[in-house]
Structure 1
Amino acid sequence: MSAALLSFALASLLIELTPGPNMAYLAIVAADRGRQAGLAGVAGVALGLTLLGIVALLGLGALVLDQPWLYQSLRWAGVAYMLYLAWEAWSSSRKPVGPLDAEDGAWRFFRRGLITNLLNPKAALFYVTVLPGFLTVATLHEALLFGAVYVLVATLVHGGVVLLAGTAQPFLTLPSRRRAMGMVFAVLLVGIAFWVARGTAL
């Protein structure tokens, strides 16, 4: 099983290094509000991946894929949420940068990371279509172990993205730069929404 687990970890790494909604959103949060907010978002995404993995491995993921209306409802809800975040990125960039509240601020970005991931049905699709191909025995214990490895790899990649993007945050505190980047972030989030709408991103 160790060889299969290593191969799966490598495949997970390659998949997570491919830009997608989670990576783009976390980079935007870290660049706009700093590493603390970005890492809170990473924790939310990690919890979302864990919950989706449990749901998918218990058989509910296949149910979602078998019901096109349910899959599409989740996908379009994710699109709407990304558009809402784009509007907020643009509007908040027109306001002065306030201090990030240690509790409420962290919870806010954690919650957004969680919701963003739960509304991305492609993450559940990974557990249903990719993960089973690496299992050596069809047991729930092994499936949960592989799922945990995927969450760990994804979290490490997302954490690295946040740490890199967070280095740009001090540069964006000037009002003129903040307004310009607010527009850029809004456009990027609209692009992510379009990406999810097309159904091509994991």
Structure 2
Amino acid sequence: MPDSTNLYLFIVAALLLLIVPGPNMAIVTSHAVTHGWRAGLAAALGITLADVLMTVMVSAGLGALVMSWAPAFDVLRWAGAGYLMWLAWQALRTPPSDTETQPTQASLRKILVRATLNSLLNPKALLFFMVFLPQFVSVGTSSVTLQLMFLGLLLALIALVFHSLLGFCAGRLHTSLRKGSIHKRLGSYCFAAVMTVLAARLLLLSRPV
């Protein structure tokens, strides 16, 4: 485990990074506003799953191995943008339901997978884990690999709590606005707009030097 100073600094840095608006916040909020708080929680769980997977990759050295292949950054970037645009298209072509229903277990699984893929197909997310976690490792105290795992899992836990609360609050907005087909169609438009903006953001990413 890292020493207490590095651990406190890590927690503060993680909280500061989470409150800055970014793609994960947009994914959770858009799903919660469109489908309710359960959808926001499913998105939060998907992001956490991606965080855990990236932690394992970084701790095992797989992250550096992937990024050592020159085209990897662009492959992930274009795949992620294409996936987000497909989600936007699906939201626009699906007609709003005439009845107000809670998300089913199957649809919640879809949202969890969406959020997981959104993070995994963002090359900057993997690079962030590769750069951020090692800064708080205490050299000489214990295994570097175990410290990276601990820090990554702690970050995933903090993010899960933050995004779950965000999803619940955004879901309250869904509850207050859910009446009427206009809102349902507006929700689809807003979701499609968020996915399109995130896709454009990925396409505009510059490859790290």
User: TM (normalized to structure 1)?
Assistant: 0.91
Q: Paired residue for 2:169?
A: 164
3-state DSSP of counterpart to 1:99: coil
Contact 1:26–1:41, Cα closer than 8 Å, also in 2: yes
Paired residues, what number? 200
Q: By how many angstroms is 1:101 displaced?
A: 5.1
Contact 1:21–1:196, Cα closer than 8 Å, also in 2: no
Q: Paired residue for 1:30?
A: 32
User: TM (normalized to structure 2)?
Assistant: 0.88
Q: 59, 63, 66: which one pairs with 2:65?
A: 63
d(CA) in 2 for partners of 1:164, 1:68: 41
Q: CA RMSD in A?
A: 1.8
Q: Is the deviation greater in 41-50 or in 167-176?
A: 167-176
The 5-angstrom pairing of residues 79-118 of structure 1 reads 79-92=81-94, 94-97=96-99, 99-100=101-102, 102-118=104-120
Q: Paired residue for 1:191?
A: 197
Is 1:180 aligned with 2:186? yes
List gaps (5 residues or longer) in structure 1. none
Segments of 4+ moved more than 4 angstroms: none
d(CA) in 2 for partners of 1:60, 1:114: 18
Residues 115-154 of structure 1: CA distance to partner in whole angstroms, max 9, x if unpaired? 1121112221122112111111261111111111111121
d(CA) in 1 for partners of 2:70, 2:163: 30
| Counterpart residue type for residue 185 of structure 2 | R
3-state DSSP of counterpart to 2:9: helix
| Counterpart residue type for residue 37 of structure 1 | A
Q: By how many angstroms is 1:177 displaced?
A: 2.0
Q: Is the deviation greater in 48-57 or in 107-116?
A: 107-116
Q: By how many angstroms is 1:83 displaced?
A: 0.8
d(CA) in 2 for partners of 1:15, 1:97: 39
| Counterpart residue type for residue 174 of structure 1 | G
**Identity of counterpart residues, as a percentage?**
30
